[in-house]
């Protein structure tokens, strides 16, 4: 028994555990990256035929009329061109498709895409006029309504954005993220509404993150004193607190997060152990003189695109407050 006890208490055992966990994290991240790479390669193959034609053919009407490329592939190609910033080419294809097609569902899809291009270009008044005209004929086009919401957000016309939210809600869309975004940015979110807001979003991690972030910068006392188990969701914000005065102030109000704050600050680590495994691993690494760090990525729960920085509206799918924090160990 003494042999086993000495083995488990040995620093080598702790180092071995750290190395094992790091390897697991590395392998998991590698597999995920390979899967994402395969997915991206498949997408590239699907649009390559259309892209090859378009690179050498600017007579879009003739190309579309030839039926060499299906309309669905054109939609994928246009989205790809928008991502590349090829806005002029995107608009040329869209105009040609709208001119040649009389099918309602195709007109609906490509009118929305045209509005998306103008949003990307920052020409919001043009996008607004296209969408409003289109919605007169297709008032239940959810994609067009989502783009119109973005237009009004960019124009800071929050009253009209609220109206669009109501229209989407009537169509069965989940508008909690959009409404929370508007409440925050139009200063309608008041302390008297905090608990009601929490009740509404309690089961949505991305919205909780947005609300906790809002409190972190705007009403830290309420966050520290009134809310439990928020540390994992905004670990990136807590991890970056380096000012000793701010650290002491935070810990005086919530000792449960002292374990996180003590990682990057010279202070005693005699705090309740964090339930976040990455935080426990970093403390164990520091105790064994191993230099590990945390890195953060932000994944949109809607389109699954990951970002290196935190943003309020996903630039790919335009969902509001849709990013979820992912924490990784960095060697």
Q: What is the DSSP string of 150-170?
A: HHHHHTT-HHHHHHHHHHHHH
The larger pLDDT score, comparing residue 265 to residue 321, is at 321
Question: Global pTM?
Answer: 0.76
The 10 Å CB-count burial string (b at 16+, else e) for 176-208 is bbbbbbbbbbeeebeeeebeebeeebeebebbb
Contact 320, 178 (CB under 8 A): yes
Write down the domain spans for the chain: 1-101
Task: Output phi, psi for 299, to 5 deg.
Answer: -110, 130
What are 186's two structure tokens? 């139009």
Q: Name the band, by pLDDT with cuts 50, 70 and 90, for residue 46.
A: very low
What are 300's two structure tokens? 């949109």
Model confidence at 48: pLDDT above 60: no
Q: Whole-angstrom Cα distance, residue 322 to residue 318?
A: 9
pLDDT of residue 250: 82
pLDDT of residue 47: 47
Instruction: Calculate mean pLDDT across residues 303-321.
Output: 93
- pLDDT, one tens digit per residue, over 128-137 is 999 999 999 8
Instruction: Calculate mean pLDDT across residues 83-104.
Output: 85
pLDDT of residue 145: 95
Going by C-beta distance under 8 Å and a sequence separation of 6 or more, which residues neighbour residue 286? 263
Q: Whole-angstrom Cα distance, residue 278 to residue 245?
A: 25
pLDDT of residue 22: 66
How far, in whole angstroms, is CA 24 from its chain's centroid?
A: 25
CA geometry: angle at 238 spanning 237 and 243, to 5°? 105
């Amino acid at each position: 028994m003494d042999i086993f006890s000495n083995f488990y208490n040995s620093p080598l055992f702790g180092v071995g555990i750290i190395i094992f966990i790091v390897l697991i994290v590395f392998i998991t991240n590698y597999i995920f990256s390979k899967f994402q790479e395969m997915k991206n390669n498949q997408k590239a193959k699907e649009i390559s035929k259309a892209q090859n034609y378009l690179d050498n053919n600017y007579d879009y009407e003739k190309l579309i009329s030839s039926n060499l490329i299906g309309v669905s592939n054109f939609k994928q190609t246009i989205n790809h061109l928008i991502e590349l910033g090829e806005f002029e080419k995107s608009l040329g294809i869209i105009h040609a498709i709208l001119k040649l097609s009389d099918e309602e569902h195709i007109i609906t899809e490509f009118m929305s895409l045209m509005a998306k291009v103008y949003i990307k270009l920052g020409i919001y008044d043009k996008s607004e006029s296209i969408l409003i005209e289109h919605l007169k004929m297709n008032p239940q086009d959810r994609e067009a309504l989502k783009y119109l919401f973005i237009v009004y957000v960019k124009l800071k016309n929050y009253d009209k954005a609220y109206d669009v939210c109501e229209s989407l809600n009537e169509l069965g869309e989940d508008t909690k993220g959009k409404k929370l975004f508007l409440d925050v940015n139009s200063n309608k979110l008041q302390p008297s509404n905090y608990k009601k807001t929490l009740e509404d979003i309690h089961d949505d991690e991305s919205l909780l993150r947005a609300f906790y972030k809002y409190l972190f910068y705007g009403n830290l006392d309420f966050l520290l004193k009134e809310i439990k188990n928020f540390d994992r969701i905004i670990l990136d914000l807590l991890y970056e607190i380096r000012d000793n005065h701010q650290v002491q102030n935070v810990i005086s109000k919530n000792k449960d997060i002292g374990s996180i704050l003590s990682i990057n600050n010279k202070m005693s680590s005699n705090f309740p152990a964090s339930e976040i495994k990455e935080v426990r691993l970093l403390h164990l690494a520091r105790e064994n003189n191993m230099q590990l760090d945390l890195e953060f990525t932000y994944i949109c729960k809607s389109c699954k695109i990951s970002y290196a920085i935190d943003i309020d509206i996903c630039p790919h799918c335009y969902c509001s407050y849709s990013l979820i924090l992912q924490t990784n160990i960095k060697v």
